[in-house]
């Protein structure tokens, strides 16, 4: 069985209280919850929050929610906290981003489909088709092995293509950017939450490098669905225009 967990913090440097931001009559967290609930492969959806306002709001619209500790360093840690409070046993947990109110439930199912018991960790990726995205330092890129498992995540652009103009790199090699929805096998989730911050993680500021550096395998699933996350009020306006 697979449970979908939506971490939702109230505190945010760039957009405080964004889970409760109104998006055409519904809060952002409610829209994420309702979209995720349409997934055909998730047994249950849970919001994991550290704030009573979010907790009460989710209860108010009939959603399932648990209160977690305040000072979790990542959504991964919050997912483990929430999982321990559930009375059912799950083989996998999918960490659904709480700031993507128009996530397509089919995108969640794409990730869930590969969770066959042997996969330790999984995430999504999208092929890069333009120079601007390829060299955007805010986008994490993935280097893959032949089994579509991550060899490395980086804010740089690798591999370097010798004797090819940088503006044409994406035309000569398949580069992929990371799409940040994670799936964890339950036993692996417990272990990775106990790992100390790694040197590669510090260097790139990418949590998943801690897992790779400690020998875990991350399956990468290509998706054709665009992701629209809300990190600032300006991002909210973009999503409103799409709706």
In tens, the pLDDT along 43-61 reads 999 999 999 999 999 999 9
All structural domains of the chain with their residue ranges: 2-125+178-197+207-242
pLDDT at 236 over 80: no
Radius of gyration (Cα) for the chain, nearest Å? Answer: 18
pLDDT digits (tens, 9 = 90+) for 15-46: 778 899 888 899 999 999 999 999 999 999 99
pLDDT at 158 over 90: yes
Stretch (H or E) spanning 129: none
Half-sphere exposure of 233 (CA within 13 A, CB side): 2
- 2-125+178-197+207-242 belongs to which homologous superfamily? Spore Coat Polysaccharide Biosynthesis Protein SpsA; Chain A (3.90.550.10)
Half-sphere exposure of 197 (CA within 13 A, CB side): 8
For position 195, what pLDDT does the model report? Answer: 96
Q: What are phi and psi of 127, to 5 degrees?
A: -65, 135
Q: Which two tokens stand for residue 12?
A: 């945010």
What is d(CA 167, CA 110) in angstroms, rounded to the nearest whole number? 31
């Amino acid at each position: 069985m697979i449970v979908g967990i939506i971490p939702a913090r109230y505190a945010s440097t760039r957009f405080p209280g964004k889970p409760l931001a109104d998006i055409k009559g519904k809060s952002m967290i409610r829209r994420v919850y309702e979209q995720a609930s349409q997934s055909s492969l998730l047994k249950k959806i849970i919001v994991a929050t550290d704030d009573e306002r979010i907790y009460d709001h989710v209860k108010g619209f009939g959603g399932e929610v648990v209160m977690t500790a305040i000072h979790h360093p990542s959504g991964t840690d919050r997912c483990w906290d929430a999982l321990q409070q559930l009375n059912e046993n799950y083989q996998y947990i999918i960490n659904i981003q709480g700031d993507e109110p128009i996530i397509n439930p089919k995108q969640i199912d794409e990730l869930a489909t590969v969770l066959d018991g042997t996969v330790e960790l999984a995430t999504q990726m999208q092929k890069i088709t333009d120079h601007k995205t390829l060299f955007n330092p805010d986008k994490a890129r993935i280097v893959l092995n032949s089994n579509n498992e991550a060899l490395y995540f980086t804010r740089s652009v690798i591999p370097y293509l010798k004797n090819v103009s940088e503006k044409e790199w994406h035309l000569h090699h398949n580069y992929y950017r990371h799409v940040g929805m994670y799936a964890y096998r339950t036993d692996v989730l417990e272990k990775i939450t106990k790992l100390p911050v790694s040197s590669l993680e510090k260097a790139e500021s990418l949590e998943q490098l801690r897992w790779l550096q400690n020998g875990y395998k991350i399956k990468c699933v290509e998706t054709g669905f665009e992701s629209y996350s809300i990190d600032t009020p300006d991002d909210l306006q973009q999503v409103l225009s799409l709706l």
